[in-house]
Structure 1
Amino acid sequence: MDPIIKLTLLLLFFRIACASTVEKNFEHCETVVKNWASSALHQGINKDKHTLQDLLFFLHVPRTGGRSYYHCFLKKLYPSSQECPRSYDKLRFDPRKEKCRLLATHDDYSMMEKLPKERTSVVTIVRNPVDRVFSSYEFSVEVAARFLVHPDLASATKMSKRLRAKKAGVSTLDIWPWKYLVPWMRADLFARRHARRQKGSSEDKIDSPYDMKDILMPLQEFIDDPIVHDIVHNGATFQIAGLTNNSYLDESHEIRHCVREYKSLGQHVLRVAKMRLDAMLYVGLTAEHKESATMFANVVGSQVISQLRDANFSTGTLADNQSGNSSSLHLDSELESNVDQNNSTLDEKALQDEDEAKRKNMTVTELIEVYEGCISSLLKTQSRRRFASLKRISPANFSKEARRHVSDAVLQEIRTLNYLDVDLFKYAQEIFAMRHVQLMGNLDMKDGSESKLDRARAFELWRIPLLVMLFILLLVLFLLANARRRVSKVKV
């Protein structure tokens, strides 16, 4: 047989075999993803999504502003005795703690497997996926840059392990997804610094901090890396669906692999994420900061305050639970600098009692005022810390203005890679807009009812004085009439 014909037949057979394998792989992936989605869609979800249940699960999607909600809303609302043990890593969660009513974590929705679904309300915040990818990149660089005070990577790694072993609080390196992204970025920064020192100084002028390859990993390289594909891209959808690489579900890795391999299968994951988003007590938007905070205070805050007023917390219960939950007071070592160290000598029991009294008597308006003051202080602290970190990789300096100069091609690639998150974000916007209108309508009705009630109360208060004045007026008129009669009789 002609060698050319043999080669052609061999290639044809190989192509058929490959096509058959691809088809079988797709069928397998389709079965796996559809079976999971069908099961997830039929799982029981609390139908009364408007009422706060016994446990509040704050599903914190990274880089959405959730840290400010935790420290400036939730920590102001819930006493530490009701806060669940630290849960920024699934291995830390202890569902056995009694009277645990607040769970704030980067863990994904699969955490619900350990929670009483019918007695749990879920809240979350969603962000534009392009902004979230930018923020994930910038934060990874910022935290990794802090280690550049060390002479080399080995020294930095050794020191970080030593500090984490000594600290009672939680380090960023213990928190998903930063426990994967920061060490990776840290190694990259040290490698580039070493290469610069070997090469000597460079006079190349680079305008964009997102493309300084001699100093740090360019944004383009970041978004194309397999680690980012697995953790960051479509991260909100996978987290709300319960399928991150930190998931409790054994099949999560295979499902993510199948969705990355066959994009069409992502619609099944998206459908589950949308269903869960719609069933949540509250869905906020990072960009709509003021409106989101107002909604959170009125929807979640008001119900927490009401629960605190109805509950009877004894001093003994507070003391017993406080000792068992002391570790949860320091959620993130990066925020420990926000605590005034001079207050450590104050009477903690007196402070707890004072805070408890403030919570029970707090109004929604006061809660919003407390939040605004707290977030202002928090942002200033974060800004100072960010400035100090980025000085170590000068002249790189991330800013909103610098983001505007990133090429349209890179922005479009981010949108394409995050196609599920783009769709989910649009759905979250629709949910937010609808609920915001409902909230404003309810507040207007409440204000109207209160004004009518105030007018009724005012009338009640003025009714007696008005009756007295009317009686006096009638008496005066009666006396005047009698006096005129007497005068008329005398003239006659």
Structure 2
Amino acid sequence: MVVGATRQSRFLFYVWQILLTAALQGPIKPDPGSQLGGDPWPEWSRSAESLASSEIEQECRQSVDSFLRRAESSLQSPLGSRHPNPRDMLFFLHVPRTAGRTFFACFLKQATPPSKRCAKSYDILRLNVSVEGCGLLSSHDDYSVTAVLPPTATVITQIRDPVDRVLSAYEFAVEVASRHLQVPLGVRTPRPPGKPRVDTRNVWPWSLLVPWMEADMRMRAAKLRSTRDGALKENNTSRREFVRLRGHAGGWAYYHSLASGASKEELSQGDVLLPNLDPYNNPLAMPLREFIEHPIVASTIHNGAALQVLGLTNYSHHRDAAKLRGCVAEVPSVREAMVRVAVQRLQGMYHVGVTDRLQESITSAAGSLGINLTGPAWRGKADAAFEYGDESVAEAEAPTRSDGPYSQLIHLQNQTDAILKELSRKQKELEQLRQSSYNSGSANAVSACFSLRALPASA
């Protein structure tokens, strides 16, 4: 596998950061993935193992046929068929690791007045369609969320080469998890007042991947520390072993001894320079191959963009999402049908950008959405921005959105909002009618007055 030198250099910084903080943590015995939540797919998968291929296909038929019928019906009048206007909603379906944050925060948000931005919805979907200002929404929710959006909502998205997206997901999971290794387990960092942030660990799919990766890193750090301590007791040569490091911001290179904790700008005679680590296969973090083959990654990253466009992720609002994903995995004919639906949905979206051609994608989207790239950009409080930062350690939330009180609450909220919006419109019409009647009545009264004055006195 060939990876660019710049990418390797940036990623190696986080890998070495794990080494530098490994000695700070006490030994623990975490259970990666034990508190990560998720939908019923593993249970359905295990039950499907005992069925023959024909039985699995029969088991899937009803759910798949129902899904395909609804998909075909929606494609006949696709969302996004209308040009967006200030009263419509623009939904950016943010596929993770596709430069979506740049596309949204640096382009869409800057082109939208703060009063027209919806509330932050990366950690939890927040909708209030009765508020006319909610015109721009962005989140990691999949296509199933369109069921609770206004009928005139316009959907756009950004896609990326699947291999690059998987590599980026691995690197990002390692990066965020390594930052949390510097904080003792169970300690929460207070957030600065007046600076609300969305914690990456509460954002799907990182709500699953980061705690799991962090737990794995802590185990590896404990093992590395034990091995190092044993070596130090036997000999002191490891104190003369150095690794070459460079600051994340592109600072000067220096040398660091993991055994002694000493750092220096130049090596001395007798010092040993250790070879560079392979950023994707080393004892400090889970190797890329192991990451790719793990069930948590299979359920969140594998075919992630396609499942997000289909609305069948393990973060879906669709009640049968888990079962349908199982059918996609087990039945080739279902897989082929779902690919066709995904392609048709992409074709029906108002705009689809490509990460590898980000600048052209932004220019194209601006043309499609009627955004003037040479005009002024809006500033203001970043109410709808999604920021990665020094997140506090928080409990991971269960990612499932499938047919539960949460989904029912969204439906109820949006039904209420729709009624309130219609009531507001009727009230405006009534006020206009009253004003019109008042003006008409006043005009008639004035006319009658002049008519009376024109009559002869004898009358």
- TM bin (shorter chain): 0.5 to 0.7
Q: What secondary structure sits across from 1:125 in the alignment?
A: strand
Structure 2 residue 110 is matched with structure 1 residue 40? no
Equivalent residues of 2:101, 2:386 under 8 A apart: no
Q: TM-score, normalised by structure 1?
A: 0.55
Structure 2 residue 204 is matched with structure 1 residue 176? yes
**Cα offset, 1:48, TM superposition:** 6.6
1:64 to 88, 98, 105: 98
Aligned to 1:141: 174
Structure 2 residue 267 is matched with structure 1 residue 210? no
Q: Deviations over 1:303-361 (max 9, x none)?
A: 8999x9xxxxxxxxxxxxx9xxx78255325299xxxxxxxxxxxxxxxxxxxxxxxxx
Equivalent residues of 1:106, 1:176 under 8 A apart: yes
Q: What secondary structure sits across from 2:110 in the alignment?
A: helix
- Paired with 1:179 and 1:64, the residues of 2 have a C-alpha distance of 18
**Cα offset, 1:50, TM superposition:** 6.8
Q: Deviations over 1:175-214 (max 9, x none)?
A: 11111111111111111111100111688856521111x1
Q: What secondary structure sits across from 2:91 in the alignment?
A: strand
Residues 79 and 26 (structure 1), Cα distance of their counterparts in 2 relative to 1, 3 Å cut? same
Look up the equivalent residue of 1:77 and give its one-letter code: A
- Paired with 1:134 and 1:48, the residues of 2 have a C-alpha distance of 31
- Paired with 1:48 and 1:185, the residues of 2 have a C-alpha distance of 38
Residues 47-86 of structure 1 aligned to structure 2 (within 5 Å)? 49=81, 51-53=83-85, 54-86=88-120
Q: TM-score, normalised by structure 2?
A: 0.59
Give structure 1 stretches of 5+ with no counterpart. Answer: 1-17, 309-321, 337-492
**Cα offset, 1:27, TM superposition:** 1.0
Larger radius of gyration: 1
Structure 2 residue 386 is matched with structure 1 residue 331? yes
Q: What secondary structure sits across from 2:119 in the alignment?
A: coil
Aligned to 2:159: 126
Q: What secondary structure sits across from 2:166 in the alignment?
A: helix
Structure 2 residue 299 is matched with structure 1 residue 243? no
Aligned to 1:102: 136
Aligned to 1:262: 331
Residues 224 and 165 (structure 1), Cα distance of their counterparts in 2 relative to 1, 3 Å cut? farther
Q: What secondary structure sits across from 1:57 in the alignment?
A: strand
Q: What secondary structure sits across from 1:210 in the alignment?
A: coil
**Cα offset, 1:165, TM superposition:** 11
- Paired with 1:48 and 1:208, the residues of 2 have a C-alpha distance of 45
- Paired with 1:22 and 1:178, the residues of 2 have a C-alpha distance of 34
Aligned to 1:302: 371
Give structure 2 stretches of 5+ with no counterpart. Answer: 1-48, 232-237, 242-273, 392-459
Aligned to 1:284: 353
1:196 to 224, 229, 244: 224
- Paired with 2:212 and 2:127, the residues of 1 have a C-alpha distance of 26
Q: Deviations over 1:50-90 (max 9, x none)?
A: 72352111111000011111121112111111111111134
Larger helix proportion of the pair: 1
Equivalent residues of 2:80, 2:153 under 8 A apart: no
**Cα offset, 1:167, TM superposition:** 6.5
Residues 130 and 294 (structure 1), Cα distance of their counterparts in 2 relative to 1, 3 Å cut? same
How many pairs were matched up?
A: 296
